[in-house]
Each structure stands twice: as structure tokens, then as C-alpha cells.
Amino acid sequence: MTIVQAIILAIVEGLTEFLPISSTAHMKFTNPIIGVASTPFSDMFEIVIQLAAILAVVVVYYKKFFDFSRLAFYVKLIIAVIPALVFGFLLKKHIDNALGNLYFIAGVMIAGGILFLFVDRWFLKPTIDNEGQVSNGVAFRIGCYQVLSILFPGLSRSAATIIGGMSQSLSRKAAAEFSFFLAVPTMIAASAKSFWDVYKDHHEVLSKENFSLLGISSVVTFLVAIIVIRYFISFLKRHGFKVWGYYRIIVGLTMLLLLWRGIV
């Protein structure tokens, strides 16, 4: 992987991690388009730069993340991340197979897009407008929705958790913010697991050059993600999910066309 390829992937990740359009799908299809082969390092790279995007949440919401007097906030995040940790461990083989199937990912993109065309009609009377009103039970149920994004790569973690939050009577704003918060422990766990797997089985790829690529790319992803976070919630409040539904359908169909023509 060259520095140019790494920066392109970093920008793609920063732009897509918090939008309901699946950063996984965009990364999996960007890789072959720009000539990045699937290797232990590239697989780890995709996960670790997601952590860089997630850390942007900590910066934007630093007052909340570092307010240690609010123990309930951390408890909710721990409760919400448990389903993903459990199912991620139990279904690792299925997840790895799904991540390697670009037709499956494209199909999930399209199916999710069709779903998004109707989501805004379903949850019209939210009663929860901030994280403080989220109970432990609601947090757990939102965490269960996050599992869907693990089982169906291309669905989008942020989309699954935002819709999960809205299904539990959270407003779009509250659901999006809780989705951001939940991403932090989720991606810390995923990155730690990915690092360990590479260190255990392919430690030779942890070279100084590759660490430099990770470092530069992480900074790029972090900066781009901060911009996205600052503008996404206001956009979601104004426009809802329909625009993302059309986008997903177009991108999914484009993916299928590229696969059918043998371009990727």
C-alpha cells in the first residue's frame, strides 16, 4: 500500500464512518478500484483507521466523555456494546465470509437504501431528546440493533444504531449522538482484536513503514471525521434518511455493475 492509496482510504473512511451509507462497503470497493490487495495489513488498516474516526467523537463531545461524575453514561455504553462483542466473537467465521463477498455487500447496500426510503414515516413521535433520558434497557436494545451491521456488512453501523434509537423513541438528534458515543467502545474493541490477530499470526507486517502509513492515515481520517460529525446531525434533522436511501441504491447498483463487468 502506497501513501497515496492510504490517504485515499483515510478520506473515504472519514467521510463515511458516521453517515448511514456503510464505511465498510465503501472501503471494500475502494480497495480494488485503487489497486489495494486484500492482505492482513490492509484488513487491519481498515479497522484501525475506523478507530481514528471514532476518536473524533471524543474530541467533539469531550465535555461529556470526560465528565467522570456521570457514571451512568459509561454504564449505558458498556451495556450497549455487549451484544456486538458477544455476536462478533460467536459469528466471526460468518462475518469474515460476508466481508469477503462483494456481491453480498452490494446487495445489503441496495436493500438498506430501499429501507431508508420509508424510515422517516415510521418514527414520528419521539419522546427522548437527550442521552440522559436513555435507560439501560433502551441502551441494550440499541446495542442489539448494532449487531445487524455485524451480521450484514454494508448495512452501516451508524444506520443500524440510529434507526435502533429512533425505534426506542429517541429523536433523530439523540439517536445520532448515542450512535456516535456507542462507536467509541465498539471500535476500540474491534481495533484491539485486529491488532492482536495481526501480531499473533502476521507480526511481520507491523513494520515501521506500515506504522507510518497507519499514523498518517489516522490523522487524515480524524480530521475529516470531525467535519462530518459537526454537520451530519443538523443535516439528518432537516432531511432524514430518504436522501441516503437514494444514494445507497445508486452506489449499490454501481457496485453490482462493476462486479458484473469484472472491473472490481
Task: Give the three cell numbers for residue 61.
Answer: 463531545
Average pLDDT of the segment spanning 155-159: 87
Are 214 and 9 within 8 A, CB to CB?
Answer: no
% pLDDT > 70, the chain: 95
| Residue keyed to cell 481495533 | 191
Does residue 195 surpass a pLDDT of 80? no
pLDDT tens per residue across span 57-116: 888 888 888 887 778 888 999 999 999 988 888 877 777 777 778 899 999 999 999 998
Separation between Cα atoms, residue 244 and residue 251, nearest integer Å: 10
- C-alpha of 49 from chain center: 11
Report how far apart, in Å, the C-alpha atoms of 4 and of each of 55, 81, 200, 217, 218 are.
23, 34, 28, 10, 13
pTM to 2 decimal places: 0.84
SS3 (DSSP) at 206? coil
pLDDT tens per residue across span 243-262: 889 999 999 999 999 888 88
* Residue 130: CB atoms within 10 Å: 12
Does residue 205 surpass a pLDDT of 70? no
Average pLDDT of the segment spanning 212-231: 88
